[in-house]
Amino acid sequence: LTPITSATELPASELLSKRQSSCAAGVYMIVARGSGEPQGPGRLSQVVQLIGQRIPNSVFTSVVYPANIVDFGAPAYPFSVREGIREVQRLIEARVNQCPNERIVLLGYSQGANACSTGLAGSGFGNPPLKEGLRKNIRGVALFGCPTQAANQSYNRGTATDGEGILGRTEVSLPQLNRYSNVLLQWCDRGDRVCAENIEPYDGAVHSNVVAKYATAAANHIANV
């Protein structure tokens, strides 16, 4: 286990281990990194640290999935993100089975935000929504630069609340995602083609910097939700 401030990493391989029987008194964070980041929390580590400072005795697990750097329209992207979606759902179910009363938080950046949001809402393309009995444990969600952002939702934050993600959010899955509107916030700024393709001009640095810019706001959201 690797300490990060007051949040401790729980490797996914240990989730079902008999040696790991204790449940977190704080929150249990499932962290999905962005495309091309090395395995681990990636940019989201600063959000994990800040949440750990605000909610002691918290733990986190990084989602193990390819997070391949590919064009969103390339055939490889759906395969990569689908593994992330399934792993997010698997981690949630495994943890609820182990710790039925634990508070679960999802953190996702870029492709990882796609994995988290679709892990909750499904997509209508062979990805079902999270099982109904697991919903009550989802106590906070913070997403950054999500390619499936839908415009003008109550939980949109940043300077591009009217942004439409490059992949969009299906009519089937948006109502499912909106069921989490009381615990979900997602940040997107103008210039970020990933989460606001409909707003030009684009600036690649905006997408790269969105986590750092809103890390404190996200941690405050999770601490107060």
Tell me the CATH number at 202: 3.40.50.1820
CA–CA dist 59, 53 (Å, integer): 12
Q: Decide if 122 contacts 176 (C-beta within 8 A).
A: yes
Average pLDDT over residues 179-199: 98
Strands 7-9, 3-4: pairing kind: antiparallel
As a whole number, mean pLDDT of residues 65-82 equals 85
Q: pLDDT tens, 26-54?
A: 999 999 999 999 999 999 999 999 999 99
Residue 75 pLDDT > 80, yes or no? no
- CA 39 to chain centroid, in Å, comes to 15
Cα separation, 123 vs 117, whole angstroms? 9
Instruction: Indicate the range of 75-89, 135-149, 210-224 predicted with least confidence.
Output: 75-89
pLDDT at 11: 59
CA distance 70 to 36: 9
pLDDT reading at 225 higher than 50: yes
Structural domain of 15 = 3-224
Alpha helices in 24-75, H assignment, sequence order? 45-54
102-132 per-position pLDDT tens digit: 999 999 999 999 999 999 999 877 789 999 9
Q: Can you give the pLDDT at residue 77?
A: 87
Q: Report pLDDT for 33.
A: 98
3-state secondary structure of 47: helix
The tens digit of pLDDT for each residue in 155-181 reads 999 999 999 999 999 899 999 999 999
Does the pTM surpass 0.85? The reply is yes
- Give 136-160 pLDDT, tens digit per residue: 999 999 999 999 999 999 999 999 9
H-type alpha helices, the chain: 45-54, 76-98, 111-121, 174-178, 204-224
Residue 3 has a pLDDT of 40
Q: Say how many domains are in the chain.
A: 1
Task: Count the neighbouring beta carbons within 10 Å of the beta carbon of residue 24.
Answer: 21
Please, what is the Cα angle at 205 between 209 and 5, to 5 degrees? 20
Mean pLDDT to the nearest integer, 80-92: 96
Give the whole-number percent of the chain exceeding pLDDT 90. 81
